[in-house]
Amino acid sequence: MDRNRLFRAGALAAVASLALSGCVSPTAGASGNYARPIGTATVTANPTPYSPALVCMANYARANQVNAPRIAIGRIADYTGKAEADGSGRKITQGASLMAMSAFAKAGMPLVERFDTSVSELELKYANNKLISDNPNAAPDMPAEYRKILAGQVPGSDFYVAGGITELNYNIRSAGLDAAGGDPDPKNFKGTIRGRMFVMNIGLDMRLINTRTLEVVDVISYQKQVIGREVSLGMFDFFNGNVFDISAGSGAMEPMQLAVRALVERAVVEMTANLYGMPGPEGCLRGDPLANPTNGLTGGFVPAYNNTESNNAQTREDPARWNTRRDSAVRGRY
């Protein structure tokens, strides 16, 4: 009997090793990789419930020829001080400033870069030393026309945004249920069920500042609650001399970082509505037949060429576009 068990264990280990060797090879294949990554999900837009309102505002400003001010994004930091217990990083995203840039772009606001100016400052330094040329065809060993620095060539901002994520409160409220039952005989059926729900919240404080006067012209404070749940079910039983211990469960938690994006976009909606003089949500009831093709759920852009009929904000939201598996225009070309 012991020999049979050892033989079965050895056979099982051999089958398992063969199965694993089919997935991972110690020798790189023709593609140069040991294994092919799993996952076929396409890249999609990452909107919140407030993203359509931002796009609507861009269309409203265009339809009413609103002269939008230039916006710069400052530091929107994480002031919660909360970090993962294992030391792997912060609980909350450090990219709220980048989310605000995307939100203002969706709303059609002109943006000027003040968050990361390292490349511009370096190029300005080189240009000031007459080291940069805008002639790509110049011979490398011959002097070329250098880039000139012109007074007033960098547009200034009218307003800038600053603020921070100021709250992260765990377990505002939680509820749970644990139940177990079964026959008192140890060999008969027994089952367990477990369920749990919990609520937390995230807070944001953001302000809009007049760049020239440093007057704070708009202050907004919002919070959003986040919910999570867990459900599990277990079963234990003997059947024909065999032991069965089966458990299953599922859990889900509303993404915290997406909640931060929703907070930022709601604040940007209100600030933009004020700067545009928009009456409110009713301003979106009048559809613009010539909607701005450069603003969408993914952000906004300045067209480099007159090709917005085929390359625009709506095509950027298409999950199949440019995908070699899903876009027939691209499939098979590479």
pLDDT value of residue 176: 85
Residue 8, C-beta contacts closer than 8 angstroms, at least 6 positions apart:
none
Angle at CA of residue 246, ends 245 and 249, nearest 5°: 145
pLDDT tens track for 158-207: 999 999 999 999 989 988 888 888 777 766 777 888 889 999 999 999 99
Cα–Cα distance, 35 to 20 (Å, whole number): 11
**pLDDT band per the 50, 70, 90 thresholds, residue 329:** confident
Q: In terms of pLDDT, which residue wins out, 241 or 328?
A: 328
The residue-averaged pLDDT of 283-306 equals 82
pLDDT tens track for 10-46: 656 655 555 555 567 778 888 888 888 888 899 999 9
Nearest to 106 by CA among 43, 75, 60, 163: 60
pLDDT value of residue 7: 56
pLDDT tens track for 108-133: 999 999 999 999 999 999 999 988 88
Cα–Cα distance, 12 to 253 (Å, whole number): 37
Cα–Cα distance, 224 to 263 (Å, whole number): 7
Whether 219 and 267 have beta carbons less than 8 Å apart is answered as: no
Give yes or no for residue 1 having a pLDDT over 50.
no
* Chain mean pLDDT for the chain: 87
The residue-averaged pLDDT of 291-320 equals 90
Domains of the chain: 41-112+155-316 (3.40.50.10610)
- Of 3-17, 67-81, 133-147, 243-257, which range is least confident? 3-17
pLDDT tens track for 133-164: 888 776 667 777 888 999 999 999 999 999 99
pLDDT tens track for 81-91: 998 888 888 99
**pLDDT band per the 50, 70, 90 thresholds, residue 72:** very high
pLDDT value of residue 33: 86
